[in-house]
Structure 1
């Protein structure tokens, strides 16, 4: 069993995280030494609260007082820097939560660039279609040929694919058996197009798909779906390392897929 911090260290951590004003005081002192009156002007706290915070920091030797000013010690600077990094990581984790929670095994080697907040679009109760709308916009902005994986079929995505095909874009498309069955029952035109159109090559994965992925000439779009196959979040990137990772993921899924023409007769003969 992994050991946690001893009681004294745990109490110090709990003290620092106990109020946003404590971090704010550390942040001000990280910029420059300051008197309590200066801190009252820049931190939303009373003078009494500031004095108590400074006393707590002094007790832990995170600050020292010289010539009436408080300044961070070397350890105080390190505590601030590590805590700021932790806060940043937690903020990133919160932003990426809807994506990370629905990715399945592919999350094990997910590039960190895809977790940056400015790469993410997430759906919410207030805007449940935010992710799917952004994914559709991404499709409309495609440059070059497309490789894609999808665990769902919708008229929105089918219409976007038609637009791409009309521009001469070639699409390699991986679906699973549930998508094939739904296409056969509800989107027969799209299924026929996937079988016969010269610019689209469709493959069927041997097990249920758990992610959505699209690559064009230089960009990646990763989609995470919930248990009801609603798009919960997408992440976009044009970073080279992310693109190479996405190519590897696509190839891995392709290795376990068969051409649509080889699978379709079997599906048609099923009762």
Structure 2
């Protein structure tokens, strides 16, 4: 197996160029990911930390803030919407008014600009905490390398985990998505699926247009197991293999979905596979794949 290292200066330059700006939503998510680890330092430097009791009060008023995000409500509507007493709704609105989060217009409570921003951040916080709980198996599996992984677009993702009674559920989920996709792009710290799954590799070699980035020794093992079929698929342009010395986790981009896999370091088995059809998640995955690909080497067919 020989690595093709021909001098392709123009192609390399274009591949290694900075990624073009993404959608405003993706750029916002990425900016949050880049700055979150420094937020504590920035807040400390500003010397204006918000007290934890006050933050707790804001979260406790999350339901009424969320209700007012939809439209202004009078006190009776707040009581019906949240199923609370008149005294409770009065206490809610008084507190929100003291904080400058609402104003009363024509008998209805309406969020101020400040209140709307706070209400949106409370919802974002809840969504991210919920997503972190759902993605716990994945985050635990990739915790050393997940700085570039963003959880926001995976809020409604399908999470498939290995179980004692069925340890291959994540692999089966992945294989089912490959079977229903005409294309597959991605990278992985180990084989996309166990090498013993001959039908899967036949699908990759013959039916699915595939571009995969592997660790060098993983690519070598693939050629050792399927020397003729892998070489023929590469020669036909049906399979593109690239190698990189380090990879963070497993990423797969299908026709309609994107997925991230976490693996057991000792057994190499997929422990969890998380996939979604979210447009921002796809944009993120495309961006990460392009970045990893730009730092990888193309692999020729299996001549030594």
CA shift digits 1:68-93 (9 cap, x unpaired) = 54443343233223322333343444
**Greater relative contact order: 1 or 2 (C-alpha under 8 angstroms, separation 6 or more)?**
2
Equivalence map 1:107-256=2 (5 Å): 107-110=146-149, 115-123=153-161, 129-144=168-183, 149-152=188-191, 154=194, 157-167=197-207, 174-175=214-215, 177=217, 192-197=224-229, 198-199=232-233, 210-214=248-252, 221-228=259-266, 229=268, 230-235=270-275, 239=282, 242-243=285-286, 245-254=288-297
Unpaired runs of at least 5, structure 2: 1-40
Q: CA RMSD in A?
A: 4.3
Q: For the pair shown, which has the larger CA radius of gyration, 1 or 2?
A: 1
Q: Which residue of 2 aligns with 1:51?
A: 90
CA separation of 1:249 and 1:219: change in aligned 2, threshold 3 A: farther
SS in 1 for 2:100: coil
TM-score by length of 2: 0.60
Q: Cα distance 1:217–1:261, how it changes in 2: closer, same or farther (>3 A)?
A: farther
**1:101/1:176 Cα in 2 relative to 1: closer, same or farther (>3 Å)?**
farther
Give, in angstroms, the shift of residue 160 of structure 1: 0.4
- Separation in structure 1 between the aligned mates of residue 204 and residue 104 of structure 2, nearest angstrom: 67
Post-superposition shift, 1:34? 0.7
Assess if the C-alpha contact under 8 Å between 2:127 and 2:155 holds in 1: no
- Pair 107,59 (structure 1): closer, same or farther in 2 beyond 3 Å: same
Deviation at 1:235, TM superposition (A): 3.6
2:262, 2:273 within 8 Å by CA — same for their partners in 1?
yes
Corresponding pairs, count: 248
Q: For 1:26 and 1:16, how far apart are their aligned partners in 2?
A: 9
What's the CA shift string for 1:194-251, capped at 9, x where partnerless?
Answer: 3232225797968575523445678754422243433322345684663353144245
SS at match of 2:141: coil
